[in-house]
């Protein structure tokens, strides 16, 4: 049994939705394109799962956040795919791929063949078991990667209201979930091994600002240690979290956000990998010319920094997907992907954006006792990264533009003095 398509997108997440829209804009014909996804629903804006979806009042629900509403583009419902003759093969896991034969084999036993494949398999949550801790399958322990996880989290928050929640991990998933748990009236303790939250991006000064606010909302931080085990009741529910430093926290529910691993396994040994992802060129094309990779799973050349990176951010998924489709549909016209790394988060009433790279020396600016502040990163005499909390649209655009231009910075003290004005005047 089998079906054949000209284009197949493997994975039905953010990148798949943006790729589908781009395909229609570039004249894909009915019946040519198929999206295969393990998830049972059409592509949606994954960042909503840790934000609007977790609100106690008027939470965001499907179909409101199908792609591509994240950039105020058309909302692609299942009807839209039907109307455009795009086949959605949902609730279907691909269990093996053969890039030489150009075929995918689904868990249901169907062979789907393609002329061009776009790998958009994203990433999966790292599990506690991978760090030697048992208990991920307990009914009051959850992760947050897909809609099923988000539904579990909402059910748990509702049933544990007023109780104790422990958040394992101090990255953005941990921070966004902790804020939502507070808003849903749980007592929250965050546990992570680093010295401060968002350690991969925040400076100690930036982290302190947010941590102080979280503390004012009742969140407790336990840093510099990790989870060692859970205590369970007779039904297998977690009742307490034991930490390596010997302390114990009572827990009615646990949220784990300890990182992700790109879904590359189907292609290991068939395509070149780098930085944990599928290595692609500036056209998002892998070591096999019929296979492209986009989004979290792709390791692509970031021209601005002259090196290959794998980014785990929604903007990169959207833009790499659109670029790959453009490169496929108009091969002679397309320039190389020239991407400015961009990442954002929203918690409580805060909202920040970051562009570029956080290497080199840091200069903070703005009012850290108020609501608008930021930082610049300067490496080898040039501006390479910019962070801004509480900016306006114009201010965010200005720091993005300034970062892309990589202006020479001679005087860090002067940059600090000018602050946001520097970006606005570049």
Residues of this chain that interact with ligand FAD (CB under 6 A) are 11-16, 36-39, 46-47, 49-50, 93-94, 120-123, 144-145, 173, 263, 266, 295-297, 312-315, 317, 343-345
In the complex, the smallest distance separating the C-beta of residue 318 from ligand FAD, rounded to whole angstroms, is 8
In the complex, the smallest distance separating the C-beta of residue 94 from ligand FAD, rounded to whole angstroms, is 4
Task: Give CA separation, 162 vs 185, 221, 252, 262, in Å.
Answer: 6, 18, 10, 36
In the complex, the smallest distance separating the C-beta of residue 320 from ligand FAD, rounded to whole angstroms, is 8
Closer residue to ligand FAD in complex, CB, 11/170: 11
Report DSSP state, residue 336. Answer: P
Sequence-ordered alpha helix ranges (H) in 234-360:
314-329
Closer residue to ligand FAD in complex, CB, 342/422: 342
Q: What angle do CA 229, 230, 236 make, to 5 degrees?
A: 140
Print burial letters for 154-188: b (CB count within 10 Å at least 16), e (below 16). Answer: bebbeebeebbbbbbbbbbbbbbbbbbbbbbebbb
- Give the residue nearest to ligand FAD (CB): 13
Cβ–Cβ < 8 Å for 184, 161: yes
Closer residue to ligand FAD in complex, CB, 50/164: 50
In the complex, the smallest distance separating the C-beta of residue 354 from ligand FAD, rounded to whole angstroms, is 9
Residue with tokens 């804006």: 45
In the complex, the smallest distance separating the C-beta of residue 266 from ligand FAD, rounded to whole angstroms, is 6
Among residues 37, 32, 35, 36, the alpha carbon closest in space to that of 115 is found at: 32
In the complex, the smallest distance separating the C-beta of residue 389 from ligand FAD, rounded to whole angstroms, is 14
d(CA 24, CA 84): 7
Closer residue to ligand FAD in complex, CB, 17/419: 17
189: Cα separation from own chain's centroid: 23
């Amino acid at each position: 049994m089998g079906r054949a398509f000209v284009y197949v997108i493997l994975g039905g997440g953010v990148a798949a939705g943006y790729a589908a829209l781009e395909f229609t804009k570039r004249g894909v014909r009915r019946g040519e394109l198929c999206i295969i996804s393990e998830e049972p629903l059409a592509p949606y804006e994954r960042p909503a799962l840790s934000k609007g979806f977790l609100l106690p009042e008027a939470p965001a629900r499907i179909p409101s956040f199908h792609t591509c509403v994240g950039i105020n583009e058309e909302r692609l419902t299942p009807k839209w795919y039907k109307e455009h003759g795009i086949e959605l093969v949902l609730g279907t896991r691909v269990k093996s791929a053969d890039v030489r034969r150009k075929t995918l084999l689904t868990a249901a036993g169907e062979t789907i063949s393609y002329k061009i494949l776009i790998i958009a398999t994203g990433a999966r949550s790292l599990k506690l078991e991978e760090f030697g801790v048992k208990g991920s399958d307990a009914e009051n322990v959850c992760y947050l990667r897909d809609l099923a996880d988000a539904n579990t989290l909402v059910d748990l928050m509702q049933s544990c209201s007023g109780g104790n929640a422990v958040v394992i991990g101090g990255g953005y998933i941990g921070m966004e979930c902790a804020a939502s748990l507070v808003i849903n009236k749980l007592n929250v303790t965050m546990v992570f091994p680093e010295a401060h939250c968002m350690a991969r991006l925040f400076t100690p000064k930036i982290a302190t600002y947010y941590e102080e606010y979280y503390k004012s909302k009742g969140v407790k931080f336990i840093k510099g240690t990790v989870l060692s085990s859970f205590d369970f009741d007779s039904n297998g529910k977690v009742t307490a979290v034991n930490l390596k430093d010997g302390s114990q926290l009572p827990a009615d529910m646990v949220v784990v956000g300890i990182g992700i691993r790109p879904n590359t396994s189907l292609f290991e040994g068939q395509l070149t990998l780098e930085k944990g992802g599928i290595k692609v060129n500036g056209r998002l094309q892998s070591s096999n010319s019929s296979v492209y990779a986009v989004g979290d799973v792709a390791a692509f050349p970031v021209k601005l920094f002259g090196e290959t990176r794998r980014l785990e951010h929604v903007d990169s998924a959207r833009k790499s997907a659109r670029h790959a489709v453009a490169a496929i549909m108009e091969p002679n016209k397309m320039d190389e992907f020239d991407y400015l790394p961009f990442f954002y988060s929203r918690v409580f009433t805060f909202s920040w954006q970051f562009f570029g790279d956080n290497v080199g020396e840091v200069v903070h600016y703005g009012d850290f006792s108020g609501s608008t502040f930021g930082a610049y990163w300067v490496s080898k005499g040039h501006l390479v990264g910019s962070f801004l909390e509480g900016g306006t649209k114009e201010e965010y655009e200005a720091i993005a533009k300034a970062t892309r231009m990589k202006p020479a910075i001679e005087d860090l003290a002067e940059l600090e003095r000018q602050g946001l004005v520097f970006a606005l005047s570049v």
